[in-house]
Amino acid sequence: MQLTFYKYQGTGNDFVMIDNRQQIFDKKDTKRIAFLCDRRFGVGADGLILLENHESFDFKMVYFNADGNESSMCGNGGRCIVAFANFLGMISNKATFEAIDGLHKATIENSLVSLQMNDVTTIESYKTHVFLDTGSPHHVQLEDDLSTLDVKTIGREIRYNEPYNAAGCNVNFVSKKSNNNFLVRTYERGVEDETLSCGTGVTAVAIAMHCLGETEKTLITLQTKGGDLKVSFKKNDYGYNNVLLIGPATLVFKGNI
């Protein structure tokens, strides 16, 4: 079977994107998904995303990690699927879509996508780190120097150990550059390696830094290896709402495999 795919990236977080409105793709075929994401034998990506029809909204997003398993929300993937829907002519400059963590709204102007993320009402603060869920679970810890940090080794240890165990957690290492600018490196579960960028990760970092008092700003720039993302939010009595993840989403190429 020949499959048409599109390759998208958002600040270096890359995805195989498939138009599955005709239900041509077998979502249970984890080996095929892992093969397509394989950087040596397949297309190569951090994850695979299916765009599907939805009864009430513009479309539905179905996201798989590079290991072939369906996963929790992917922020950069969410921005990329909005760009993909715009490319397909399904939307103009606004979108409302359903993902595994619920409803999302987004706007797109040129290649810049602003994606509304879920409200965050629970933040667990510990001596060494902060834990919160921004559509995916995230461990956030401050570090003095990210340049020499072995993100893959340390991230893997944290990801599999107590209290995360088998379910695992994404791990973010953060260094403060200024009051509204932070450097971020992320180890992603499912990819089981450091990625160039993580959308739910930088969202978690921005909110965690505000919660810890590292910044009073509500528009924060997060510098990742793949480029800069911005996160804005509002603080309320229950936590954080009106959370927006803002950054570029770009079509890399189209192909058949």
Q: What is the pLDDT of residues 121-177, one digit of tens each?
A: 999 999 999 999 999 999 999 999 999 999 999 999 999 888 898 788 999 999 999
**199-242 per-position pLDDT tens digit:** 999 999 999 999 999 999 999 999 999 999 999 999 999 999 99
The pLDDT of residue 1: 80
Over residues 64-120, the pLDDT tens digits come to 999 999 999 999 999 999 999 999 999 999 999 999 999 999 999 999 999 999 999
The reply to whether 153 and 93 lie within a common domain is no
Whether residues 174 and 81 share a domain: the answer is no
Judge whether 116 lies within some domain.
no
127/239 same-domain check = yes
Whether residue 48 is contained in a domain is answered as: yes
Q: In terms of Cα–Cα distance, which of 10, 8, 3, 54 is closest to 29?
A: 3
Q: Is residue 47 part of a domain?
A: yes
How far CA 65 is from CA of 14, 23, 32, 45, in Å, comes to 11, 19, 12, 9
Residue 79 and residue 134 in one domain: no
Q: What is the CATH number of the domain that holds 105?
A: 3.10.310.10
Q: What is the mean pLDDT of the chain?
A: 96
Active site residues: 74, 198
Residue 100 lies in a domain: yes
Is residue 42 pLDDT above 80, yes or no? Answer: yes
The DSSP output letter for 126 is -
Q: Does 63 share its domain with 127? A: no
- So what's the pLDDT on residue 167? 82
Assess whether 104 and 19 both reside in one domain. yes
Q: Same domain, yes or no, for 238 and 141?
A: yes
For residue 25, the model assigns a pLDDT of 96
- Dig out the tokens for 56 from the structure: 């009430």
Domain count, the chain: 2
Q: Is residue 118 part of a domain?
A: no
Over 80: is that where the pLDDT of 29 sits?
A: yes
Domain that holds residue 14: 4-111+249-256
The token pair at 196 is: 């160039």
The predicted pLDDT at position 165 comes to: 81
- pLDDT at residue number 166: 77
Note whether 141 and 83 are same-domain residues. no
Q: What CA–CA distance (Å, rounded) separates 183 from 205?
A: 10
